[in-house]
């Protein structure tokens, strides 16, 4: 992931999900389609935006009854438990931060769900264990994206589906410029992964039908409006929209498929 000391401080001892910028235990910027942005915003709408981002990813994976599903970067486990609405047989969540694994485990009471500690490039599961793999706003922390791509391909069964939603960069000069705009890039918490490189890494790992679709039109304006109007004792940085307007990054839904004829 990103700088491990910073990741542990922010997500472990700091518990990022407890900040008002996030709400309800989720940790994502939200998908604000259908939520009016020309008036005030409520905590309930903020939570709905975060749930909607998960629903977008889950829908892209066509998760259904009987599927075995893995979430990489499972946080408090709310997303993994939301996947249960689609009726999978098994849901597993993996997170690098032990405090997050413990929080998710304490809040879980469904026997189909379990949470374990592991790294994105060293997933603690046998080959071919899952039919679908998702990661929501975690891949920006991953230090080894090619390793994540290879491990994802390994743990997916032939025909398995892959979906990641997060922000990726667009230009070669983005790392330096983003570090000057946003504290999370300056601190090493976030990495400036180019979206074109992510697509290349997935193809290199053997995935087919790799696509990267921008969904930023339903992310950035809503996030910035929430930062403007919502409860902000944490003073979360408002330069995200500025970085987007400068063409440095965008929010993407990246999907892929493990070919049916490939080995586990």
pLDDT digits (tens, 9 = 90+) for 59-78: 999 999 999 999 999 999 99
Mean pLDDT of 129-138: 98
Question: Is the model's pLDDT at 13 over the cut of 80?
Answer: no
Separation of alpha carbons 185 and 141, rounded Å: 10
pLDDT for res 75: 92
Mean pLDDT of 111-132: 97
Give per-residue pLDDT as tens, 148-194.
Answer: 999 999 999 999 999 999 999 999 999 999 999 999 999 999 999 99
**Topology given in CATH for the domain delimited by 4-257:** Rossmann fold (3.40.50)
Name the band, by pLDDT with cuts 50, 70 and 90, for residue 3: low
pLDDT for res 235: 61
User: For the residues of 37-54, what is the DSSP string, one character each?
Assistant: -SS---HHHHHHHHHHHH
Mean pLDDT of 224-245: 81
Question: Is the model's pLDDT at 234 over the cut of 80?
Answer: no
**Would you state the torsion angle of the CA atoms of residues 95, 152, 250, 217, taken in this order, to the nearest 10 degrees?**
-90
Question: Is the model's pLDDT at 263 over the cut of 80?
Answer: no
**198-217 b/e with 16+ CB inside 10 Å = b?**
bbebbeebbbeebebeebbe
For the ranges 119-128, 129-138, 220-229, which has the lowest average pLDDT?
Answer: 220-229
Mean pLDDT of 84-109: 93
The model's pTM is 0.94
Give per-residue pLDDT as tens, 185-218.
Answer: 999 999 999 999 999 999 999 999 999 999 999 9
Specify the higher pLDDT residue, 10 or 164.
Answer: 164
pLDDT for res 264: 53
pLDDT for res 147: 98
Question: Is the model's pLDDT at 249 over the cut of 70?
Answer: yes
For the ranges 45-54, 104-113, 230-239, which has the lowest average pLDDT?
Answer: 230-239
Question: Is the model's pLDDT at 15 over the cut of 90?
Answer: no
Q: How does the average pLDDT of the chain come out, rounded?
A: 92
């Amino acid at each position: 992931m990103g700088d491990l000391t910073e990741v542990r401080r922010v997500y472990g001892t700091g518990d990022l999900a407890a900040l008002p910028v996030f709400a309800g235990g989720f940790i994502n910027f939200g998908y604000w389609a259908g939520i009016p942005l020309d008036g005030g915003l409520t905590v309930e709408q903020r939570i709905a935006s975060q749930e909607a981002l998960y629903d977008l990813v889950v829908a892209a994976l066509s998760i259904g009854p009987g599927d075995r599903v893995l979430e990489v970067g499972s946080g408090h486990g709310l997303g993994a438990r939301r996947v249960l609405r689609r009726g999978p047989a098994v849901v597993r969540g993996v997170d690098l931060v032990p405090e997050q694994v413990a929080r998710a485990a304490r809040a879980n009471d469904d026997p189909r769900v379990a949470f374990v500690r592991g790294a994105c490039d060293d997933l603690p599961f046998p080959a071919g264990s899952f039919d679908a793999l998702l990661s929501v706003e975690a891949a920006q922390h991953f230090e080894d994206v090619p390793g994540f791509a290879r491990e994802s391909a390994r743990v997916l069964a032939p025909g398995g589906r892959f979906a990641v939603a997060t922000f990726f960069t667009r230009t070669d000069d983005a790392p330096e410029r983003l570090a000057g705009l946003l504290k999370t890039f300056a601190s090493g918490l976030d990495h400036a992964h180019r979206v074109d490189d992510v697509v290349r890494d997935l193809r290199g790992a053997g995935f087919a039908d790799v696509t990267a679709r921008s969904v930023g039109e339903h992310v950035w304006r809503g996030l910035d409006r929430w930062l403007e109007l919502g409860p902000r004792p944490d003073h979360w940085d408002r330069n995200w929209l500025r970085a987007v307007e400068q063409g440095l990054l965008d929010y993407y839904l990246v999907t892929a498929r493990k070919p049916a004829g490939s080995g586990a």
